[in-house]
Amino acid sequence: MIIDPAQQTSKENYKLLIGSVLPRPIAWVSSVSSGGELNLAPFSFFTVASRNPPMLIFSIGEGVETRAGTVKDTLTNIRERGEFVVNIVSASLANEMAKTGEHVAPEIDEFAYVGLTPASSEVVSVPRVKESPVSMECELVQVIPLGDDHLVIGQVLRYHIQDELYDKGRIDTKKLAPIGRLAGNYSPVESMFSLPNEHLEEYLRPPVDKDRK
């Protein structure tokens, strides 16, 4: 099947994109409004942009149809303060992360709303999620409008890594237990393999259902 995106609606193209580009990491972004209200929201259009200096990027859309034409609270806050924190979502925090994705009034503190702890950052005025295994303090570099969305680029100023995850300059990804976005669902990173792998086909073979007759 060949599909021309120009012949589709934005929603139709979105469904194809999120069902094809996966699993996607999740940026759990904390920000603060000009009035001091805390905000926490997940974004799955997220990746590393540069290694030197270290930079992250994530994309912010308009939101649900009832908010079409509006700018999300996170983007407003980042533009006003010029800083934010990207928190990594482990499997144990999945429910809290999903709840912060609900559309609530701007004055609602998502930290309190889902029962998370705002912890002071080192160099930015935005708090990180204390429960998150890895948090990265970021300074805004640029916001680039891309169609209906906005690409946010931030330079990492500080890493916060739980001690048990840090191993000689690396992150123990098994202990990190991150989750990824799969279209409308999520998936934990439960197993890993190295390449090249002579036994890859056997490794990826679906498990046998012992109860099946």
Q: Is residue 183 part of a domain?
A: yes
Q: Is residue 6 part of a domain?
A: no
Residue 116: which of 105, 125, 128, 106 has the closest Cα? 128
Q: Which tens digits make up the pLDDT trace of 141-184?
A: 999 999 989 999 999 999 999 999 999 999 999 899 999 999 88
Q: Which tens digits make up the pLDDT trace of 8-58?
A: 999 999 999 999 998 999 999 999 999 999 999 999 999 999 999 999 999
Q: Which tens digits make up the pLDDT trace of 75-106?
A: 999 999 999 999 999 999 999 999 999 888 88
Q: Is residue 213 part of a domain?
A: no
CA atoms within 13 A on the CB side of 97: 25
Q: How many domains does the chain have?
A: 1
Q: Is residue 208 part of a domain?
A: no
**130 CB burial (10 A radius; 0-12, 13-18, 19+):** middle
Q: Is residue 1 part of a domain?
A: no
Element of type H or E holding 122? none
Q: Is residue 53 part of a domain?
A: yes
Domain membership of residue 117 as a residue range? 12-203
The one-letter amino acid code at 193 reads: F
Residue 63: per-residue pLDDT: 55
pTM given for the model: 0.89
Q: Is residue 90 part of a domain?
A: yes
CATH number at residue 167: 2.30.110.10
